[in-house]
Amino acid sequence: MTELLTAAQMRAIEQGAISSGEVTGLELMERAGRGVVEVILDEWPEPRTAPQSVTVLCGPGNNGGDGFVVARLLHKLGWHVQVFLFGDAEKMPADARLNYQKWLKTGVVTSLTEKEFRRAAPSDVYVDALFGTGLTRPPQGDLASLLRHMGGYGGDDYSGNLVAIDAPSGLCLDSGRVLGSGTITYSAPIPRARVTVTFDSPKIGHFIADGPLCCGKLKIVDIGLGQWRERTSDRRLRLPEVSLVRKDPLVRDNRLCFGDIRAVAHKESTHKFGHGHALILSGPATKTGAARLAARGALRIGAGLVTIGSPCNALREHAAHLNAIMLTGIDDASALRDVLTDRRITSLCLGPGMGLTDTTRQMVEVALTSTRKTVLDADALTVFCHHPQELFEILHENVVLTPHAGEFARLFPDIYARLNEISTNGPAYSKIDAARAAARRAGAVVLFKGADTEIAAPNGQVAVHSAHYDRCAPWLATAGAGDVLAGFVTGLMARGYPPFAAAELASWLHVDCAINFGAGLISEDLPERLPEILRMLSGPPVT
């Protein structure tokens, strides 16, 4: 579990540490600048012995102050340094202005305009210290034109040699969106960094929407705030509102968090019913593959038993493909009600391949009446698209909804429309905001799928699984991958995992299976990778 901070949270932590007297703003700025220099020297190792040239673009706030520290330290190492300033130095915060004045004892500062920038000698490395976490509106005028130029829009592409401090200019770190852009996928004319350096903790925008594509590599530099934050009595400065799903063990406030990964690989009970019974509902003949994918996922992730409830006309079709997965005939809602009298069934999955019919709708209603842990995916969501409130009225806290963007838009059209509005001010509305609002409205866990998957609970808790950086898994863009994910969540809930924790674990394992397989992946491969993943992750049983 890794915490993701908003810009305001990061500023509050820094100010809290300064107010405590344990550190000064100047010390934090110096540590940040040194951290950036170390990243630069690691990224371009040859200049340690053969210094090169750097252009540092400084903004009017503390991010610009970090930039002046970088310029000064690289100059001491023998680099040729050019420094530009956007804004009025006299209006800079005190610590940043002091570092500006220190630099003036060494070199000159040129006012940043597109004309002056393009007249300057080219450099081997460029440092973007313009805005960082402080950006609240899109760059305008000459600066916007310069950023377009640096982004390769009618000018040069600086992505191969650009280092961003906190964030590439134009990126909102609370949302991962490019301010001034009306989309949540990369399309806006700002520079993409080769590497982005941030401090203490990653920010939300580094992992969602445009953020990963804009940031390049992400390096997190320790500036000494972590130990102070653990000691402070102010819980607001220690506990995040948003967590990044990782495999690191963590239990917080006696709540099972993601990280109990070893428990997935170990079974303490010796009886299959001790690990739950998952029921996966199927579509009619010729529409059965999606249910089998989900069922296979549920079985591989450790459910003790998995049964496919299928229309009777599709039983033979299923039987030709299945061995360990059981079958039962369920033609309609009445038959499902009868099957659910077996209390040993501990979780349900409805939607994959079921079809957009009245029967599907009625079966969802029966399933939700049972109050068992339930995954609603695909057709089980879309069948309510014209009257989503009718679904929300019967949902309960043991339900996980797993919409992709299209399904989310059909269930929550107003929330999705807001997510796609042009973001003229920061912090921009984010996919995290959208998932949280959807979960609150639905009264259920919402797993909003995508390259960054947001998992939100009705109480406001949010986790993000970001398939970027070292977790990039483009092979998951294949038919049926979402059905397997639904099966993973269902299988974990069958075993007793709470809905939110099951969604976190399933999202992480889903991507790990894809990374492990690599290119050429099809959805059938995902469950078959789980045994190897669990063997690698498992240790001694958790007690």
CATH of the domain at 165: 3.40.50.10260
Model confidence at 341, pLDDT cuts 50, 70, 90, reads very high
3-state secondary structure of 309: strand
Q: Are 205 and 244 in contact (CB under 8 A)?
A: no
Residue 220 forms beta bridges with which residues?
198
CATH code, 303: 3.40.1190.20
Query: Which of 244, 260, 291 is the C-terminal boundary of a domain?
Result: 244
Percent of the chain with pLDDT over 90: 76
**pLDDT score, position 254:** 30
Residue 369 falls inside a structural domain: yes
Residue 35 falls inside a structural domain: yes
Rounded to an integer, the average pLDDT of 401-429 is 93
Residue 374 forms beta bridges with which residues?
348, 399
238 and 292: one domain? no
21 and 87: one domain? yes
Residue 516 falls inside a structural domain: yes
Percent of the chain with pLDDT over 70: 90
> Worst-scoring range by mean pLDDT, 55-69, 172-186, 467-481?
172-186
Question: Considering its fold, how many domains does the chain have in total?
Answer: 2
Q: Which two tokens stand for residue 108?
A: 């000159």
Buried b or exposed e, range 357-390, using 16+ CB within 10 angstroms: eebbbbbbebbbebebbbbbbbbbbbbbeeebee
3-state secondary structure of 142: helix
Which residue is listed with tokens 């990224």?
A: 43
Model confidence at 188, pLDDT cuts 50, 70, 90, reads low
Q: Is the pTM of this model over 0.75?
A: yes
Instruction: For 192-319, list the strands marked E by DSSP.
Output: 195-199, 217-221, 242-244, 251-252, 255-256, 277-281, 305-310
For residue 233, count CB atoms less than 10 angstroms from its CB and return exposed for 0-12, middle for 13-18, buried for 19 or more: exposed
Nearest in space to 133 (alpha carbons), one of 27, 13, 277, 275: 13
Nearest in space to 279 (alpha carbons), one of 334, 369, 347, 337: 347
**pLDDT score, position 3:** 86
Q: What is the CA radius of gyration of the chain?
A: 26
**pLDDT score, position 229:** 76
**pLDDT score, position 250:** 36
Amino acid identity for residue 34 in this structure: R
Q: Are 157 and 181 in contact (CB under 8 A)?
A: no
Query: Which of 221, 244, 267 is the C-terminal boundary of a domain?
Result: 244
Q: Which two tokens stand for residue 378?
A: 């695909």
Buried b or exposed e, range 513-539, using 16+ CB within 10 angstroms: bbbbbeeebebebbbebbeebbeeeee
Rounded CA gap, 415 and 438, in Å?
7
Residue 54 forms beta bridges with which residues?
81, 125
Name every residue whose Cβ is closer than 8 Å to that of residue 409 and which is 6 or more positions away in sequence: 416
Rounded CA gap, 478 and 169, in Å?
34
313 and 205: one domain? no
- Note the residue count of the chain: 543
- List pLDDT tens digits, range 314-338: 999 999 999 999 999 999 999 999 9
Q: Which two tokens stand for residue 91?
A: 């209006």
Rounded CA gap, 254 and 249, in Å?
13
Rounded CA gap, 543 and 534, in Å?
18
Model confidence at 184, pLDDT cuts 50, 70, 90, reads very low
Buried b or exposed e, range 246-273, using 16+ CB within 10 angstroms: beeeeeeeeebbbbbbbbbbeeeeeeee
Q: Which two tokens stand for residue 169?
A: 């200019």
- List pLDDT tens digits, range 392-402: 999 999 999 99
Q: How far is CA 433 from the centre of its chain?
A: 12
Residue 131 falls inside a structural domain: yes
**Strands 177-178 and 171-172, sheet pairing:** antiparallel
Q: Are 379 and 291 in contact (CB under 8 A)?
A: no
User: For residue 259, is pLDDT > 50?
Assistant: no
Name every residue whose Cβ is closer than 8 Å to that of residue 300 and which is 6 or more positions away in sequence: 491, 527, 528, 530, 531
190 and 290: one domain? no
Q: Are 73 and 43 in contact (CB under 8 A)?
A: no
Q: Are 171 and 222 in contact (CB under 8 A)?
A: no
Q: Which two tokens stand for residue 474?
A: 């483009």
Residue 269 falls inside a structural domain: no
Q: Are 202 and 219 in contact (CB under 8 A)?
A: no
Rounded CA gap, 6 and 215, in Å?
16
Rounded to an integer, the average pLDDT of 209-221 is 95
**pLDDT score, position 270:** 56
Rounded CA gap, 381 and 442, in Å?
12
525 and 404: one domain? yes
49 and 95: one domain? yes
> Worst-scoring range by mean pLDDT, 87-101, 139-153, 475-489?
139-153
Query: Residue 465: in which H helix or E strand, if any?
Result: strand 462-466
**pLDDT score, position 252:** 36
Residue 284 falls inside a structural domain: yes
Query: Residue 508: in which H helix or E strand, if any?
Result: helix 499-517
Model confidence at 5, pLDDT cuts 50, 70, 90, reads very high
Range of the domain at 392: 275-420+429-537
213 and 328: one domain? no
Rounded CA gap, 454 and 175, in Å?
12
User: For residue 408, is pLDDT > 90?
Assistant: yes
289 and 232: one domain? no
User: For residue 186, is pLDDT > 50?
Assistant: no
Residue 250 falls inside a structural domain: no
311 and 238: one domain? no
221 and 287: one domain? no
Rounded CA gap, 279 and 366, in Å?
13
Rounded CA gap, 496 and 491, in Å?
9
Amino acid identity for residue 5 in this structure: L
Rounded CA gap, 438 and 445, in Å?
9
286 and 217: one domain? no
Centre a 10 Å sphere on the Cβ of residue 120 and count the other Cβ atoms it contains. 11
Q: How far is CA 426 from the centre of its chain?
A: 19
Model confidence at 238, pLDDT cuts 50, 70, 90, reads low
Query: Which of 244, 263, 289 is the C-terminal boundary of a domain?
Result: 244
388 and 523: one domain? yes
Centre a 10 Å sphere on the Cβ of residue 488 and count the other Cβ atoms it contains. 31
Residue 270 falls inside a structural domain: no
